[in-house]
Each structure stands twice: as C-alpha cells, then as structure tokens.
Amino acid sequence: MYQNNQRGAALRYSNKMELLIIDNLRKGFKKHKVRAVDDVSFSVFKGEVLGLVGESGCGKSTLAKLVLRLLGADKGSIFYKGKDLFNISHNDMRKTRKDLQIIFQDPYASLDPRMKIGKVIEEVYDIYKNVSENNRKSKTIELLETVGLGETYLNRLPSELSGGERQRVGIARALATDPEFIICDEPVSSLDISVQAQILNLLIELQKRKNLTYLFISHDLGVIGSICDRVMVMQSGKLIESGSCENVFKNPQHQYTKTLLESALLR
C-alpha cells in the first residue's frame, strides 16, 4: 500500500508536475477537541500560485505547519517532488528544507529577539551553504533592498523595527535560500498598499522568472484575486470549495464563500 502511494506520487510529480501532494491529512488538538485540519487532500502544481482563504481559526496556519513538518500529523501523507515527507532520509529532508520556505504570519514570534537583522539572514547561508563567503554581505543587502529596507537595517534588532519592517525581514529571509516553493502565510497583511504592491509584484516577478510555486494564505480577496491562479476555500478544517479564481469569484458555490465575497465588495 505504502509502496504504491510512493510510486504513484513520484509518477504524479514527473508526469503532471504535482510538486506537492497532500493526501487525507488530519491534525487534531486533543486537549481542546478541535480538528484543525480535517481530511484535507489537494495538489499544488509546479509554477502555480495557489490561494488559500478561510475564516480566522479555520486551520490555514496549521496546514502550513504540517507541510513544513513543524507539527506532526495524526493521519495522511504529504509528498514533495514525489518524496514522502513522513518517511524521508535525513539528506533528502535537508534539501527539501532549502527548497521549501515559509513566510510566517506573525513576524514577531518567528524572529529571534536577540539576533540582528543581518545575522537573521546570514544564518540561512550557514545552514544551507548556498552563498559563497565573499558574496554574503552583498547578497544580504540586496535582499533587504528588494523588500524596501537598506543597509542601515543590518545591525538592528527585531524590536528596533516597525511591524511592517519585521514582516519584510521575514520575506527576505525566506528568499535567502533561493527556494522553489514558498508558503506565504498572510505575508503582506500588515503592509500598506504601496509596500504591498512592491512586495507582491516582487513575488510575482520572481515566480515568473524562476518558475517558483506559491501556496498563498490570505484573508484579503483583493490580494488573492490579484496574484493567484487557483483558490481553495477552507472552513472548520475542511476544504469546501476550490477552482480558478475567475470561477470562484464569479460563481461561488458555498455560502461562506459568498459571504466572504459580499463583505469584501461592501467596502
């Protein structure tokens, strides 16, 4: 059974470019009797931008953490490039970690408060050895500049940045490994429209230039509509609707999707 799945996933990756395959994934938090991710299955194709929307607390971040193995699943499987992430050699997992990055929802919680911004980014090169000694500093400054920060930020601590600036450091850090697949968990929610536009346009440009793949979590339908090809809607741990953005926005099937669209347009 397991052999079949593994072989099937490898074929699905090589034939149909299903970069990430999620199969019947489940995660509950027993203490509070919630099933945060409830038998979820879907695929992400190489080079696509897949949106994930859903109300607060429906399980989006939990799903992201499961894919990155920051949390253990109760049931189900995850295949990345045809490899079973729950059953993978140490070496392969290392490679996968470099390829697969996340931009966290809460930048404050994900940055070490004692580590200077320059170090936050350079630490990544120490782990993945993807940048030569000579290029470290210039690459770091370049990354900071692409997110609208500059050299003056190198020696600052996270607490010495504004909220939106911290969020941008998280983005620069995710890009530092030259990843292939990025899970973006509300990556621009605390940024104003002009910075949002810069960052999203940067993400879109990178995606086109390097054929990157994104799973893009957001509650902002305007943002989802402007960057995603497909969108999935989640409610109480379950995927309740999915399709191309055009179809879902024009023709929502589920009541929750309709409410979401109505309240978005009301503003």
Ligand X SMILES: Nc1ncnc2c1ncn2[C@@H]1O[C@H](COP(=O)(O)OP(=O)(O)OP(=O)(O)O)[C@@H](O)[C@H]1O
Burial 70-93 (b: 16+ CB within 10 A, else e): ebebeebbbbbbbbbbeebeeeee
Residue 1 contacts which entry, Mg ion, other proteins, ligand X, none (Cβ below 5-8 A, type-dependent): none
Q: Which is nearer to ligand X, 168 or 230 (CB)?
A: 168
Q: Is 163 in the site for Mg ion (CB under 5 A)?
A: yes
Q: Is 86 in the site for other proteins (CB under 8 A)?
A: no
Q: Is 63 in the site for other proteins (CB under 8 A)?
A: no
Binding marks (x or -) toward other proteins, 22..41, rule CB under 8 A?
A: -------x-xx---------
CB of 258 to other proteins, least distance (A): 11
Candidate list 3, 4, 132, 162; residue touching ligand X; CB under 6 A: 162
Binding marks (x or -) toward other proteins, 127..166, rule CB under 8 A?
A: ---------------------x-x-x--xx--xx-xxxxx
Give the phi and the psi of residue 89 in degrees, each rounded to 5: -70, 155
Q: Which of residues 43-72 bind ligand X (CB under 6 A)?
A: 54, 56-62
Residue 226 contacts which entry, other proteins, Mg ion, ligand X, none (Cβ below 5-8 A, type-dependent): other proteins
Q: Is 124 in the site for ligand X (CB under 6 A)?
A: no
Segment near other proteins (CB under 8 A), from 14-22, 52-60, 94-102, 174-182?
Answer: 52-60
CA angle 135, 214, 228 (to 5 degrees): 130
Candidate list 105, 110, 177, 196; residue touching ligand X; CB under 6 A: 105
Q: Is 34 in the site for ligand X (CB under 6 A)?
A: yes
Q: Which is nearer to Mg ion, 79 or 237 (CB)?
A: 237
Q: Which of residues 100-119 bind Mg ion (CB under 5 A)?
A: 105
Integer Cα distance of 66 and 38 in angstroms:
12
Q: What is the 3-state secondary structure (H, E, C) of the chain?
A: CHHHHHHHHHHHHHHHCEEEEEEEEEEEEHHHCEEEEEEEEEEEECCCEEEEEECCCCCHHHHHHHHCCCCCCCEEEEEECCEECCCCCHHHHHHHHHHEEEECCCHHHHCCCCCCHHHHHHHHHHHHCCCCHHHHHHHHHHHHHHCCCCHHHCCCCHHHCCHHHHHHHHHHHHHCCCCCEEEEECCCCCCCHHHHHHHHHHHHHHHHHHCCEEEEECCCHHHHHHHCCEEEEEECCEEEEEEEHHHHHHCCCCHHHHHHHHHHHHC
CB of 13 to other proteins, least distance (A): 27
Q: Is 91 in the site for Mg ion (CB under 5 A)?
A: no
CB of 54 to other proteins, least distance (A): 7
Candidate list 5, 108, 238, 242; residue touching other proteins; CB under 8 A: 108
Q: Which is nearer to other proteins, 1 or 265 (CB)?
A: 265
The footprint of ligand X on this chain (CB under 6 A) covers a number of residues equal to 19
> Taking a C-beta distance cutoff of 8 angstroms, is the pair 130, 98 a contact?
yes
